[in-house]
Amino acid sequence: MKLHRIRLENFRQFQGISEIEFAQDKQQNVTLIWGANGAGKTTLLNAFTWVLYGQFTKDFEKPKSLGNQDTWASLNPGERLRVSVELEFENAEQIFTATRTSIFRKADDGSSIVEEEGRPSLQYIDQSGRSEVSGNPDDHIRQILPERLHSFFFFNGERIEHLVQASAYEEIEDAIKTILGLKVVERAISHLPKAARRFEQELKAHGTDEQRDITRKLEDLDGQLGQAQSQRSESEKRATQWQDEIDAVDSKLRGTEEAREQQKRRDILIKQESDQLGSIEKINERIHRLIRERGYLAFGLKLFTQTRKQFVDKREKKELPAPVKRDFIEDLLEEGTCICGASLAEGTEGHRHIMTWKERAGLAEVEQRWGELYAYADSYTGQRLAMAGDLATLLDDRQSAVDQLRLLREQLSELSASLQGITRDNIDELESHRVAARRSKDDEIRQQGRLERSIENLRVRKQQLEADLKRAASVEAKAALAQRRLTVTREALNTLEKVYAIRTEQTRSDLDEKIKSIYQQISFKPYTPEVSPTFQLNLMHIATQEPVAKSTGENQILSLSFVGALASIARDRYEETKGAISAQTEVRGGIFPIVMDAAFGSLDLNYRREVALGLPGLAEQVVVIVSKSGGDGAYEHLKDRVGRSYVIQYLTPKSDTKPETISIEGREYPYVQPSDDGSEYALIAEVE
pLDDT at residue 347 tops 90: no
The full DSSP string for 611-677 is HHHHGGGTSSSEEEEE-TTTTTTTHHHHGGGEEEEEEEEEEES-TTPPPEEEEETTEEEEEEEE-SS
Q: For residues 23 and 644, is the Cβ–Cβ distance under 8 A? A: yes
Could you tell me which of 234, 257, 259, 240 has the C-alpha nearest to residue 249?
Answer: 259
The answer to whether the predicted template modeling score (pTM) of the entire model surpasses 0.75 is: no
Q: How far apart are CA 579 and CA 180, in angstroms?
A: 16
pLDDT at residue 271 tops 80: yes
The full DSSP string for 272-333 is HHHHHHHHHHHHHHHHHHHHHHHGGGGG-HHHHHHHHHHHHHHHHTT-SS-SSBHHHHHHHH
| Per-residue pLDDT, 539 | 84
**% pLDDT > 90, the chain:** 25
The listed range with the strongest mean pLDDT (82-86, 252-256, 276-280) is 82-86
Helix 326-335 vs helix 349-360: crossing angle, to nearest 10: 160
Task: For residue 646, list its beta bridge partners.
Answer: 33, 686
For the domain spanning 2-145+592-686, the CATH number is: 3.40.50.300
pLDDT at residue 357 tops 70: no
pLDDT at residue 313 tops 90: no
Domain range summary for the chain, segments of one domain joined by +? 2-145+592-686
- Mind listing the pLDDT tens digit for each residue in 74-90? 899 999 999 999 999 99
pLDDT at residue 326 tops 60: no
Q: How far apart are CA 539 and CA 555, in angstroms?
A: 9
pLDDT at residue 246 tops 80: yes
pLDDT at residue 69 tops 70: yes
**Region of residue 426 (phi > 0: left; psi between -120 and 50: alpha; otherwise: beta):** left
